[in-house]
Structure 1
């Protein structure tokens, strides 16, 4: 099964996956890919443009290969704000799209506490665009211990 996990920055997408995925499942997370590709001491979330380009290409390649194996393992893909084209592809792949959103106030507080200030704009954009996709499953979960 392919699970596409969406949600604003700092919403708990990784925690949602950690609570469900087995060690043999595949998790495709742009932040983890970028961190794996970055040099020592690189920031956990705020990546430079070149690193992000390489990480995006690696994510696309990982997804292309992973979907070939979704009959034997679950594939979890974090995609914060998939475009209409990406959502159409995920539907063609029979993906289950899960939105993790503990609420705007919680997200904005987490972003203020733990993320680069630029992530406030990303979270705001996510909430503004989310109205288009409200038919998807919305999951609220308790906050992890930050």
Structure 2
């Protein structure tokens, strides 16, 4: 099964996956890929344009390959704000779309405490354009201690 996990930054998407994925499942997370591709000491949420571009290409390749194995493993893909073209592709693949959203106030607290100021703009965009742009399930859940 392909699970596409959406939600604003710091919502608990990774935590949701950690609570469900088995060691043999595939987890495709742009933050993890970027960390794997950058040098020692790079920030955990690296937004260097070159690093992100390389990581995005790696994510596409990983998803293409992982989808060939959906009969033997579950695949968890974090995609914060998939646009219409990506959502259509995920539907064709039979994905289950999961939205993790503990609420805007909680997300803003977490971003202020743990992320760069640039992430606040992503939170605003997620709540104004993506979340309110259509009805999607919300998965309230406790996340790690921030």
Smaller-chain TM-score range? over 0.9
Query: Does structure 2 conserve the Cα–Cα contact (< 8 Å) formed by 1:46 and 1:116?
Result: no
Q: Does 1:14 align with 2:14?
A: yes
TM superposition shift of 1:34 = 0.3
Aligned residues: 145
- Distance in 2 (alpha carbons) for counterparts of 1:111 and 1:133: 24
Contact 1:17-1:76 at 8 Å conserved across structures? yes
What residue number does 1:133 align with? 134
The equivalent of 2:104 in structure 1 is: 104
* TM-score, length of structure 1 as denominator length: 0.97
Contact 1:34 1:51 in 2 (8 A): yes
SS at match of 1:88: helix
Aligned equivalents of 1:137, 1:82: Cα separation in 2: 15
Contact kept, 8 Å, 2:99 with 2:138, in 1: the verdict is: yes
Three-state SS of the structure 2 residue aligned to 1:138 is coil
- Distance in 2 (alpha carbons) for counterparts of 1:79 and 1:133: 16
Q: Matched residues in 2 for 1:86 and 1:12: separation? A: 21
Which digits, 9 at most, give the CA deviation of each residue in 1:59-110, with x for residues without a partner?
Answer: 0000000000011000000000000110011001110000000000000000
Match for residue 76 of structure 1? 76
Task: Provide the residue aligned with 2:24 in structure 1.
Answer: 24
Q: How big is the alpha-carbon RMSD for the aligned residues of Structure 1 and Structure 2?
A: 0.7
Give structure 1 stretches of 5+ with no counterpart. Answer: none
Please state how far the C-alpha of 1:145 moved relative to its aligned partner. 1.6
Instruction: Provide runs of 4+ in structure 1 moved above 6 Å.
Output: none
SS in 1 for 2:8: coil
**Aligned runs of 1:36-75 on 2, under 5 Å?**
36-75=36-75
